[in-house]
Structures are given as C-alpha cells and as structure tokens.
Chain A
Amino acid sequence: MKKDKKFLIAGFALTIFLAGFVSFYASSHPDGLEKVAEDIGFLETAKDHSNANSALADYGVKGIDNARLSTGAAGVIGVLATAGVSTGLFLVLRRRSDAEK
C-alpha cells in the first residue's frame, strides 16, 4: 500500500508539472480537425462556445495577464478538478461493487 501511495504521489506531481508548466510550451497551431475544417472551408460553421467568456475559457484564467501564469494556473485547476471528479466517481463505483458482494 505504501508503494502505491508513492506511485500516486509521483504520478500526481507529474501531472501538475505537465499541466502547470510544460503546457505553456504547447504548440498553438490549430489541431487536426480545426486545420482540416479550415482547409476544406467549413471552419466558419463553428459557433462560439457557450462558455467562451467563462473564467477559464481556452485554458487561461481571466484576470491573469501573464500568459505563462494564466495557462499554468488553468492547467493546475483542471488537474485538480479532473482528479477530484474522476477519483470521486471511481471510489463511489468501487464502494458499490463492495456492497453488492
């Protein structure tokens, strides 16, 4: 169990590092779908996201002007939210399966 804990902590630290720091260096070119849509000509059929003006839209924190900090903070928030929701869900599912036995 202790070995598992170590693995989880190391893995979680890695995700924070990737989303909070490395993400700033990600390519800002359009992704495959966006590029194909642009080349063929249907990119303009895309509508603005209904949350386009939300506080975290496009992986930046509204109000933080420094791009590195803004992307990094958005990444860390995303990691915490994903970790919380997914682990919570999996723990709930796990408990139910115990109860069934």
Chain B
Amino acid sequence: MHIPDGFIDIPTSVAFAGIAAAGVAVSLKGARASLDEKTAPLAGLTATFIFAVQMLNFPVAAGTSGHLLGGALAAILVGPWVAMLALTVVLLMQGLLFADGGLSAIGLNVFNMSVIGVWVGYGAFLLAKKFLPKNKSSITIAAFVAGIISVPAAAAGFVLQYAIGGTATFSVSAVLAGMVSTHVLIGIGEGIISALAVGAVMASRSDLVYGYRGEKVTLEMRKSL
C-alpha cells in the first residue's frame, strides 16, 4: 500500500501533502484531549506495535501479499486523533529510514493510511458497535468489521490519486477494480489482526481501550445527568 515515488505526479503529490499536513495539524490539537500521563505511553506502544506488524506481510492471493495498515486498530485502541499521529509517525519512519514509501509520496500515503484508514475504520467501528449487543465481545467483533472495511477504503484513496495525477495512462476503472478486489482480501487479514489485538487488550486491560472506555464514560455521564 506504500506508494513509491513516480506513480503520482508532483502537483498531485504536493496537493495531498497539503491536505495531509492540515489533517496532522488538526489531529495534533484533537489528540491533546485524550493524552494524559497514562495514555501517552500506551499511544507510543500502539504506534510501535503497528510498525512491527506492518513488517509482517501475509500471503493473500496468488503471488500477492498484504500487511496490516493499523488505522482502524489504532483508532479503537487510542482514539482517532492520536491514531492519525501514530500512523503518520510510522509512515515517516518507514519512508525516511527504510526506503518504504516514496518521500515525494509521503502526503499521499499519509492521506490514504492515516486519514482514510483511521477515520473510515473508526466510523465503521462505531457503526458496527451500534448494531451489536452492549458487551465486551462486541468491541472485538466491531474491530474485525472496522479492519475489513478500512483497507479497501484506503486502496480507493490511491485510485482517487491515480485518477487525478497518475503518471501512467491506464484506465482508472481497471486500477479501481484491481485495487479494490485485491484489498478486500487484504482487508480480511486486517480484520483478523485487528480483532486479535483488540481482543487481547480487552481480555487483559479493557480499561485501556478507547473505543470501549468512551462508551463507559458516556454512560456514566448520562447517569450523572
């Protein structure tokens, strides 16, 4: 999913870098509210975990692999604003240190993985939670759903960028069909890993899960009203 230099032209890359930078600026503000003494180190651990698991490509279809993107997972564990920052740090490390994801494409990659991946993942999580019974295992199931949906959404982000500024001239519909069909499969892996990770934290320390704690806080507030 990491776009190299060259796929997308420079004007489009610059435009998306602007959008990504604005997104990061807003998330710097939004993240403060949910970062305290206790959650800041956990947010760091979440970013680190995503870096590590992104190294673990799993095979999907013939000759293709995929890896966790982590946007949905991070949003559920630490909240969407902090998740955007966590993903952005991971993408910067990968691009700068490991030559993974082009430097001119950093804005494109941040847009797809830390804006779309996080917010579509978090939206899908909240929606799934609404339709599920109010218990702990629903959080894990909702994480599975969020993971599955977030990956084709991020892949569609690339298709949008290709449609605007792709340097090749192949039809957008062919790229759309290829990207979505491949990433639906990778999304299943994303869903499984997200559910395993969220399930493990729910089993050991459910009080640390933002997507679960948030619900409890709201309930307590309602009670006190």
Contact = CB atoms under 8 A, between A and B. Distances in A.
Nearest to A22: B56
B178 A90 contact: no
Given A29-B65, A89-B85, A90-B82, A42 B57 contact: no
Given A90-B43, A93-B31, A19 B37 contact: no
Given A36-B179, A37-B7, A94-B36, A49 B103 contact: yes
A8 B205 CA distance: 11
25 contacts: A4-B42, A8-B42, A14-B49, A23-B56, A28-B65, A30-B63, A31-B66, A45-B7, A49-B100, A49-B103, A52-B99, A56-B99, A57-B98, A58-B99, A78-B55, A81-B97, A86-B47, A86-B85, A86-B90, A87-B47, A89-B85, A90-B31, A90-B40, A94-B32, A94-B35
A48 B5 CA distance: 7
Interface in B183-225: 183, 185-186, 204-205, 208
A15 B53 CA distance: 8
A2 to B, nearest CB: 12
The binding surface of chain B is classed by DSSP as: helix
A86 B99 contact: no
A54 to B, nearest CB: 6
Contact of A36 (B97, B100, B175): B175
Interface residues of B, number: 72
A36 B178 contact: yes
Contacts of B205: 3, 7
Interface in A84-101: 85-91, 93-94, 96-97, 100
Contacts of A28: 57, 65
Nearest to A51: B99
A93 B27 CA distance: 11
A30 B8 CA distance: 19
B47 A82 contact: yes
Interface in A21-56: 22-23, 26-33, 35-37, 39-42, 45-52, 54, 56
Contacts of B38: 1, 4
A92 B175 CA distance: 41
Given A3-B205, A57-B99, A79-B52, A27 B89 contact: no
